[in-house]
Structure 1
Amino acid sequence: MPTFGIKTRQHATLELLGDMTGTLEKHQECLQKQRDAVKHRLKKLAARQSEITKKSSVIRESVIRKYQEMQTVLDEDMRITLSHLEMEERAAVSALDGLMERSCSLIQEIEQDLARLTLALDQTDTEPDTMSFFSFSEQEDMNTEDRVIDLLNRSDPSSVSLDEAKAEQILSLTNNMLLLMCSQTPIIKNLIKSYSSDVHLDPETAHPKLIISPKGDSATYTDTWQQLPDLPGRFDTTLNVISLQAFSFGRHYWEIDVTGKTYWELGVTYPNIPRKGTTEDCWLGRGAESWCVEFFDGEYTAWHGGVPHQLPFTKRFGQIGVLCSFPAGLVTFLEAEKMTSLFSFCAGTFSDCLHLALCPGHDHNGNNAKPIVICNTSSPTSDL
């Protein structure tokens, strides 16, 4: 084989190896860059994780601290009150301990005298000084009797007692404090009430068997079909009425008085809720356009999208609160007095503005004549 051919193949091989080496080096460099990029992102993720953990810890500590601050005054007052009661108890127990010790000591002395007397009686009259011993015992009996009488006079159990007047005053003050706390709590009540928004019922949406008050704050069922214009927005089958005002942002709260009623529905609805005909969607909560809580035959049911949620309450509440939060996508129904949550719908992002919607219900065997009333407040609408 010619030398020239061998050299040419060697050269080609070297070039191929060089190209492969260059390619591998470029691939290596590329992988290193990708590795470094992933490492950098991993570092950023770890830093973000640490940041979130720290922020979460700060938030938790802040929440705990706020609750502790609310409890500090009561805890301190309870500590002082209990310490005074404990001192009173210790003093009374100590006094009784002293009287009991004196009683035990006297009992021991009497027991010793009895033992001596028993020993003397066991002896025969052969002892010459027996009479002098009995003379000495009689004298001791007189002394012992005086000491017993004195002890009984000084150790009357009823003479040691707690300061009942002070105890009654403490109980009275703590009861007053409890009443004050009850009048100021739950704290969340003040917060939620700050979202109160005035609304008025729109008579042009009311079913013809509903009487809307001149102020637009109540709806009452009547058996009489009123001759009203058949407007496009009027409900003609379901006993509904919605508010004149619509809300599209912020947080809003309303309280509705349902005292004495045996059937009602209330909630919020989009303006496009069906209003004509017998379709189920015309009822509050039966379609995707509205959310409601219903009270019927002593049972509470939350409705949305035609799905019922039976609620575990049997008490007939007087006032129901409705909280609507656009930032949270939340519709919450509450028992207004104690702000007990009845049911919450996590609605997500609302697709339209919302109206307050009410249904006072039909006659219901003659027991549902009272109106359903909106309890408007003077607080401004919250746009937060």
Structure 2
Amino acid sequence: MDSFAATRARMPELQRRIAADPGRFRMLTGERPTGPLHLGHYVGSITERVHLQNLGVETLVILADYQVITDRDIAARVGDHVRSAIADYLAAGLDPDRTTIFTHSAVPALNQLLVPFLSLVTEAELHRNPTVKAELAASGRALSGLLLTYPVHQAADILFCKGNLVPVGKDNLPHIEITRTIARRFNERYGEVFPVPEAMVTDAAEILGLDGRKMSKSYGNAIALSMSADETAAAIRRTRTDSDRHITYDPVERPGVAGLLSTAAICLDSTPQRIAERIGDAGSGALKALTTEAVNSFLAGHRARRAQLAADPGLIDSVLRAGNKRANDLADATLAEVRTQMGMSYAEAR
């Protein structure tokens, strides 16, 4: 059994423990603010964060702005992307009184943990990480030190707050494994400080983008949560399909049609195959019309709440300030404990 299958097999027991005592868990999750959040984020992760928050799991959400520069020049609009993401979090139901939302660059003590953590991993372990390999291939550049150490930075993200629950997809499971390795090695070398976090994987379906590939900001094939209804209709209208009027779900041979079917199915709580049967011989025009209506109806409530939030321009910044303060308090306490365990507390001012 591979590591993902083994992790999936443990989920019923983990979910039982969460339901029985949610207060035992502190969840760290988040993303890199490289662009607007999209429908895939909403269905694949944001709604699960809201669910766990509402169960009573302590929730921290990081917008990893430093990690934007691991494989590319820092985006000129990173601040806009941070604020846009927070608007989507709040509109989706994340409550800043119960969930800490913060940015990577605003928490110095978190980033300082990178130094001792780097001493606990080998270069070979870093090179084996599949995300490092994938990002390097996508960037077309020489491997930077920051990209190479990306998995260790993610370990600091999780462990600075002593997070013990991390929702992940299959692609990110190796990051949790190296985080677990770092936590164990630190505890063995210096004494118990860090919990060994558990990965949580869900059964959320992967949404195909409008071009049939995985929905991704970098591919430009996504339905952004911040789009208007008209912008959504235009994006769907531009999707390349084919001349066959009989609609079938075939991601390999008909990627554009498959992307539209996948998107509609998620929004209608159906399957791509059932949507295809429903449209039959009506052609891609009918498919695009149905998908547009499905997406706009599905996101209507979210977009209305988002517009209300935008009417209070100071709200987003106040949420971020409060989240950054909470994250700094946690990071400062953890770093002080790490220094003590490492015999370096003499560096503290008296």
Tell me, yes or no, whether TM beats 0.5: no
Identify the TM-score tier after normalising by the shorter chain. under 0.3
Structure with bigger RCO (C-alpha 8 Å, 6+ apart)? 2
Q: Which structure shows the higher helix fraction?
A: 2
Give the TM-score normalised by structure 2. 0.21
Q: What TM-score do you get using the length of structure 1 for normalisation?
A: 0.20
